Amino acid sequence: MRFLIAGAGAIGAYVGARMAHAGFDVTLFARGPHLRAMQERGVQVKSPEGDFVARPAITASLEDVGQVDVVFLGVKAHGLPQLAPHLKPVLGPDTTVVSTQNGIPWWYFQGFGGKWEGLRLERVDPGGVISSAIEARRVVGSIIYFATEIAEPGVIQHTEGNRITLGEPDGTRSDRIRVIAEALIASGFRCPVTTRIRHEIWVKVLGNASFNPVSALTRATLVQIARDPGTSSVIRSIMQEVEDVSSKLGMELPISIEQRIAGAEKVGEHKTSMLQDLEAGRPMELEALVGAVVELGERVGLPMTCTRTVYNCAKLLAESTAGQQK
């Protein structure tokens, strides 16, 4: 099988490096200094589980890749509207597309059924660009449970975690998802297959919509936010509002708010992806992680008072610091 990592940033390059190191046919699509560094020196991974260097195929042109069997979308959610229309050359009749984005994914309401069937969130899929380029039948959902960052071009720092949960949107255990899971397991990941991917997405959203924007506003780590009485109170309020939205959509969360906060605290002195982006002068995933939840709150008739307040503050921060480097 041929695998493509479309967007080899911190997460994508780490997944691709592990797969290449395990002997799989994988190509990484990247740009800029990170691309050149990986082409020259391979993907250097630094990890508590052991450092290694992998040398997958690296490209700056999707046209040169040709059709593949599986595409992992490694870009962040705000990069998908730009990437999706350019995927056509790599998509064969049966190519599977694995979404890895945080937040509410663009495909969430495709095949959802009921009154929300086909709902498109403008903050996630503006103008329907993504859903027009990637057919719903191709999609396999995933939830990433590990922490990585680009320490320098071509160098990926893996901090903790090794789980990637996969799930078919229709809840089936398909042959294609079994094959992808087996490849990831052989590459060193834990890869459970869930029949309730939409429910589990909300567990990740609980943390994404709360810890990420608060960390950007305070510059604090997960453990600092969780242990501070003031910020932990804000986190609980946001999480309750997120849980209320999910309940309106018929989702039952398999974890409590206190358990979710405790889990974040255990990660320790880790900067969220949003804080990492802010410090590096990169665009933050604000709309997919927080704006989409606010938009859904409006749809289901909930005020989202605390979430909206933090979102508005983080949005102004993003606008006022756009393009600034650390």
5, β-bridge pairs: 28, 72
Orientation of helix 305-320 relative to helix 292-300, angle to 10°: 150
The answer to whether residue 315 is catalytic is no
Rounded-to-integer distance, Cα 84 and Cα 131, Å: 9
Q: What sign for the dihedral angle of Cα 318, 320, 323, 326?
A: negative
- Which of 76, 88, 204, 248 is labelled catalytic? 204
243 in Cβ contact with 257 (< 8 Å): yes
DSSP string computed for 91-111: EEEEEEEEE--SSS-TTTTTT
Q: What sign for the dihedral angle of Cα 12, 70, 89, 80?
A: negative
Q: What sign for the dihedral angle of Cα 128, 68, 144, 321?
A: negative
Rounded-to-integer distance, Cα 224 and Cα 100, Å: 27
Rounded-to-integer distance, Cα 220 and Cα 226, Å: 10
163, β-bridge pairs: 145, 190
Q: List, edge to edge, every strand of the sheet that includes 2-6.
A: 52-54, 43-46, 155-167, 139-152, 91-99, 68-73, 2-6, 25-29, 57-59
Rounded-to-integer distance, Cα 161 and Cα 28, Å: 22
Q: The tokens of 170 are what?
A: 């229709």
- Residues annotated catalytic, as ranges: 204
